[in-house]
Structure 1
Amino acid sequence: MARRYCIIGAGYTGLAVAKAFTDLGLDYDHVEATDAIGGNWSHGVYDSTYLISSKDVTEYPDYPMPDHYPDFPSAAQMRDYLRAFAAEFGLDHRIEFGALVTDVAPLDESGTAGWRVEFGGGGVREYTGVVVANGHYWDINIPSYQGEFTGKQIHSKHYRRPADLDGPRVLVVGAGNSSCDLAVEAAVTFGNSEISLRRSYWFIPKYVFGIPSGRFDIGSVPIPKPAQEAVFRSIVALGMGSFGSFGLEKPAHRIFDQDLVVNQQLPYFLKHGRIAVRPEIARFDGRAVHFTDGTSGEYDTIVWATGFRTTFPFLREGLLEWDRGQPRLVAHSFAPGLANLYFAGLVAPRSGAGMLLMNASRLLAECALLQQRLRTPLGDLYARIAEPSGEILAGGPELRWEVLRGRFLVRAMTQLSTLLTLLPGATAADVSPPPSPVRDLPRAVLRPILAAARRIA
């Protein structure tokens, strides 16, 4: 079979993967289920959406955003940027639109022999490997409560503009970035709104001392998590002060245990009495909503800003191990026991992801090349230094270090595999002098690299 890969999804992540594969000369088919480039930015955000991470940490490193873009570009500007990026590097001509993937299955037990991909139109193709970059903000999650609400209901993914709401009584459920935006937009439109919070959250201002707060989550070396938490608690203290002064409870969880909410407008509208906070919903009764504190209110519209489920409907049951709704992956990329199946973008960094996405995509491309030489799934070898996990929240410094470490190890393994291929029957001890990247590795790290080299076909 010719060496050819399938990249699923042409959004923010899929485009980075396509660029990395193109740069390394890997042949691929790029398939997109919708009719547009941009993923969620083209078919999953409301008209008034703006980035919560500044442009300098969101842009791809090899294609800066235009100088005239503001610090926080709009959804329309982000869409234009992604299309321009794809056109600049000739990626747009390789995308097949309307290509819905319905089934992905390994040709052998581990996927070492390749993968079979079936499409909604009935076509079937075989590939060396598959990159899953279809995103995790599309399968909507709406909680269930006792009773029935007879007013209008809409999930934030399907909301586009205030005309989608029946007013004037609007309840927004959830406390993520979207819920805060939509509570504010409803308050501007109808004079006031209410927001239901199951728990309190950490609210991060967009600016600290005139600097976009996402820049405080950068760094080329790993920073201890307690130190990172201290920095962000200081940012919250500067931006919010006392939670109680806004009618909010101080969050009971540690600051990095849940997604951070980057929003300054919600506290502003709370202080002006334009938005009221409600606790979690207990039950419905027609248009009446009863809350867990015994209070109730009547509403015309409920906006469910309650997030998404991570699902891959085209992957057969049993291929992945799951932990609390997330697949257990090695380094956010490799499924244990499977070769040539890669996951891209399945992580929620605290700041912009442009540099991270591009470098992680380059790592995947290098892994795809190395996997061609190995009998063992590369992810299983990688798991010797990084345990599989279902955690998707992570900070910029640790993600950058994880990618840097991964690329270093993959390149070292590639050098060893090349040397041992040129010298049949040789071992690492026969190589003199050893290549410098390998010579400097500590023994605990070198051991799995040598083990991988011995499994070369």
Structure 2
Amino acid sequence: MDNMFRLMGSEEFSDRRRCIWVNGPVIIGAGPSGLATAACLHEQGVPFVVLERADCIASLWQRRTYDRIKLHLPKNVCQLPKMPFPENYPEYPTKRQFIDYLESYANRFDISPQFNECVQSARYDEVSGLWRIKTTTTSSIAGSEMEYICRWLVVATGENAERVVPEIDGLTTKFEGEVIHSCEYKSGEKYRGKSVLVVGCGNSGMEVSLDLANHNANPSMVVRSSVHVLPREIFGKATFEISMMLMKWLPLWLVDKLLLILAWLILGNLTKYGVKRPNMGPMELKVVTGKTPVLDIGAIEKIKSGDVDVVPGIKRFYRNHVEFVDGQRLNLDAVVLATGYRSNVPSWLQENDLFSKNGFPKSAFPNAWKGKSGLYAAGFTRKGLAGASADAVDIAQDIGNVWREDSKIHKMRSRVVYRRCISLA
């Protein structure tokens, strides 16, 4: 606390009305990672503050996902710590069900984020030994600035904080049709009968293409490079669970070999449809690069039937059509950029130990959750909700240990002071 008074006495903190001391960690981000960390801290008896730039929890799910989306993995590997999904939920919960689960989760563990708080910067003050987080409140018309001061900082803004929009010749300068990112896409209903180009062939690109086809649009999907596509289930069991089980007993190369054989038996040879597999196996690629295989939920059948057309890389856009690298052209009404997301941590966190320039921790899982000076990272493992949950448990345990030790010391000091007061009396 001496450090705190020294900090508050500096000229930079002359306006005390805008400075808030947090008696515990500040968690930046109210998505699943931030909620999981807050819940685990709550169970440890540690107070906290959650800052969220949006006006709701899990804004990615509530504001930036399409209507048909479901969890790609079974619910038993997606539940957050301390609270399983309701038993009546299906194996792959819907968007609405997952949001309801997260809202119930926040209520159960008394998590009340400070909404509309956009973090501008966060840095560690060497003099005081405390973190200083500057935010702008976006809820008011004029906006207001705030500074939070704390001993621990948990970065839980996630791997998908900002959309990635590639620069493609003519897309913004010549093309006159609609251009949106997949985070703005809701349903294919408005595109019925229209020619739509989906740029990207990951899980989002495949699902958007499937949804467009189901709504009788004319989707074409850009497959510029190789991609692994696996069935979501193999013989009635989740492919993810099968791969995790196999990896406990078999070498990685053999697991990949078995998965590719099973995928070929179920999905067939996709090369003739324009979908080529990488040379590296799906699980090895995931471990080395963090790139997740696509789990097919029906898009491949649409590709085989011709309802979804696979096209090569883009050369340039014109007023109402696109030219591909192989010279063919396609008239278009709209473009959906399923080009993914990125971390935004480097834009506001002033630190060079835990995070690299790409916004991800420098260390690999399971050692990516803890940095120096009370800095933590939750949900940057590239292992989905299971990885975020593991981070949350580790972070809360680490902070909780220090919190309880400090509490013991404080109680001992209080007892000594009390005894001295009694003796003097």
TM-score above 0.5: yes
RMSD: 2.7
Residue among 152, 159, 176 paired with 1:150? 176
Counterpart residue type for residue 118 of structure 1: K
Counterpart residue type for residue 185 of structure 1: D
Alignment match, 2:270: 243
* Distance apart, 1:294 and its partner CA: 1.4
Question: Is residue 2:296 matched to residue 1:273?
Answer: no
CA distance in 1, matches of 2:314, 2:166: 10
Alignment match, 1:367: 398
* Distance apart, 1:237 and its partner CA: 2.5
**If the length of structure 2 is used for normalisation, what is the TM-score?**
0.79
Alignment match, 2:15: none
3-state SS, counterpart of residue 215 of structure 2: helix
Question: Is residue 2:118 matched to residue 1:100?
Answer: yes
Residue among 56, 76, 95 paired with 2:76? 56
Counterpart residue type for residue 276 of structure 1: D
- 1:234–1:89 Cα change, 3 Å: farther
3-state SS, counterpart of residue 83 of structure 1: helix
CA distance in 2, matches of 1:284, 1:201: 24
Over the matched positions of the two proteins, sequence identity in percent amounts to 27
Counterpart residue type for residue 259 of structure 2: F
* Distance apart, 1:208 and its partner CA: 0.7
CA distance in 2, matches of 1:46, 1:199: 24
- 1:180–1:67 Cα change, 3 Å: same
Counterpart contact for 2:354–2:370, Cα < 8 Å: no
Question: Is residue 2:208 matched to residue 1:192?
Answer: no
Alignment match, 2:385: 353
Consecutive unaligned residues of structure 2, counting only runs of 5 or more, are 2-21, 137-143, 286-290, 409-425
Alignment match, 1:30: 50
* Distance apart, 1:23 and its partner CA: 1.5
3-state SS, counterpart of residue 122 of structure 1: strand
Counterpart residue type for residue 118 of structure 2: L
- 1:286–1:252 Cα change, 3 Å: farther
* Distance apart, 1:207 and its partner CA: 1.2
**If the length of structure 1 is used for normalisation, what is the TM-score?**
0.74
Question: Is residue 2:132 matched to residue 1:124?
Answer: no
Range with bigger deviation, 59-68 or 259-268: 59-68
* Distance apart, 1:185 and its partner CA: 1.3
CA distance in 2, matches of 1:325, 1:343: 11
* Distance apart, 1:137 and its partner CA: 1.4
Range with bigger deviation, 95-104 or 231-240: 231-240
Give the alignment of 1:131-210 within 5 angstroms: 131-147=154-170, 148-163=174-189, 165=191, 168-210=194-236
* Distance apart, 1:37 and its partner CA: 1.9
Give the alignment of 1:404-419 within 5 angstroms: none
* Distance apart, 1:283 and its partner CA: 1.0
CA distance in 1, matches of 2:358, 2:121: 24
Counterpart residue type for residue 343 of structure 2: T
Consecutive unaligned residues of structure 1, counting only runs of 5 or more, are 374-413, 419-457
CA distance in 1, matches of 2:24, 2:379: 21
- 1:327–1:60 Cα change, 3 Å: closer
